[in-house]
Amino acid sequence: MADVAWIESVLSGAVQAGTVYLLASLGEVYAERSGILNLGLEGMMIIGVAVSFIFTNALGHGAALLVTMLVGGLVALILAFMAVSLRLNQIVVGLALTLFGLGLSGFITSAEIRKGILLSLNPNLSEATLVTQQAPKLPNIAIPVLSEIPLIGEPLFNQNILVYVSYILAIVMWFVLFRTRFGLSLRSVGENPAMADAMGVNVYLMRYIATVIGGMLGALAGAYLFIGYQPFWQEGMTQGRGFISLALVILATWSPLRAILGAYLFGGVEVLQFRLQLLGVGAQTPQFLLMLPYLVTIVTLTLLSFEGVKKRIGVPAALATPYSRE
């Protein structure tokens, strides 16, 4: 059963499913590195799905991606305002935003409202477009030469544009975080905001920026989930992927590069359990597979409870702690 084509298609599926997690957790790595825990990630993702659904049908892919990120950034701004400026409990605010996002996405995609938005954006839409639950999927772009590599060429280099964007983002975001002054300031703010402040770093601004980046990428992950992966609208279709991304940030120990591996592990497991079901493997195996990523996350968390490990890896010490200048 395990011929090359099958393996290739599973790997390809792993990358496709994993890109949702990768985009979302890249943003969350920045937010958490700055000390902000964004439990509203699930909400931002589902808003991203809804907005990209509507805007793709009205104005096309490009506009949809732009608007999605803008909206995600705006929702994150709410979180930043509450958590940074008002110093409210980040867990409460985050969960509230998730519930808000689920509600808002359901509201704007309900038949009448959606029709209204679509017509106001583009009065020339056909009747079919006004009622459809789908949208055109982003096309795959095969990269010459690279996509010819056996086994991994097809999975890694014959994907849509957002998958490529996620590769570049992971590398660029790692570089910025660890090799630039901006990144150093951002990490310092999440480690010891009082000290960073004393050294002339604008703590509030850094946290706002990181949170907004997190929100934009969270919404982009939602957009990818829809137009890049499963372009058929269902309410609540993120199915906890935002929360899985939060777990992934821990598994990746707050590193954009390690997030790639974690994302494809999570994505791979998701795809594999589905494929195994199709093959008629006993129902326990897929269930066991689904459990695996969380098991790994729990083991990671346990390891992180050791002081020595914590220091080496650099768990943001001021995570979820509001900062106020005395």
List residues binding other proteins (CB under 8 A).
179-182, 184-185, 187-188, 191-192, 195-196, 198-201, 311-312, 314, 317
Gyration radius of the chain's alpha carbons: 20
Amino acid (1-letter code) at residue 219: A
Largest CA distance in the chain: 65
Q: In whole angstroms, how close is the CB of 184 to other proteins at the nearest point?
A: 6
Residue type, 266: F
> Residue 63 is which amino acid?
A
Please report how close the Cβ of residue 144 comes to other proteins at its closest, in angstroms. Answer: 31
Least distance to other proteins, CB of residue 313, Å: 8
Give min distance, CB of 71 to other proteins, in A: 29
CB-nearer residue toward other proteins: 92 or 194: 194
Least gap, CB of 180 to other proteins (angstroms): 5
Measured CA to CA, the distance from residue 177 to residue 211 in angstroms comes to 14
- Looking at the DSSP bridge assignments, the partners of residue 141 are 159
Q: Which is nearer to other proteins, 33 or 114 (CB)?
A: 33
| CB 323, min distance to other proteins, A | 14
Residue 107: count other Cβ atoms within 10 Å of its Cβ.
11
- CA distances to 40, 233, 308, 325 from 28, rounded to whole Å, are 10, 25, 24, 25
Q: CA-CA distance, 145 to 68, in Å (whole number)? A: 33
Quick one: 150 or 325, whose CB is closer to other proteins? 325
Looking at the Cβ atoms of 91 and 317, the one nearer to other proteins is 317
Q: Which is nearer to other proteins, 201 or 261 (CB)?
A: 201
Smallest separation, CB 81 to other proteins (Å): 25
β-pairing verdict for 140-142 and 158-160: antiparallel
**Helices 181-191 and 4-33, axial angle in degrees (round to 10):** 70
Nearer to other proteins by C-beta: 189 or 223? 189
Closest to other proteins by CB, 182 vs 288, is 182
Contact 51, 110 (CB under 8 A): no
Cα(59)–Cα(57) distance, integer angstroms: 6
Nearer to other proteins, 25 or 192 (CB): 192
**The token pair that represents 322 in the structure block:** 């509001």
| CA 129 vs CA 58, 109, 144, 225: distances in Å | 8, 13, 34, 20
Give the whole-angstrom CA distance, residue 37 versus residue 315: 12
Q: How far is the CB of 93 from other proteins (least distance, A)?
A: 26
Residue 60, phi-psi category: left (phi > 0), alpha (psi -120 to 50), beta (remainder): left
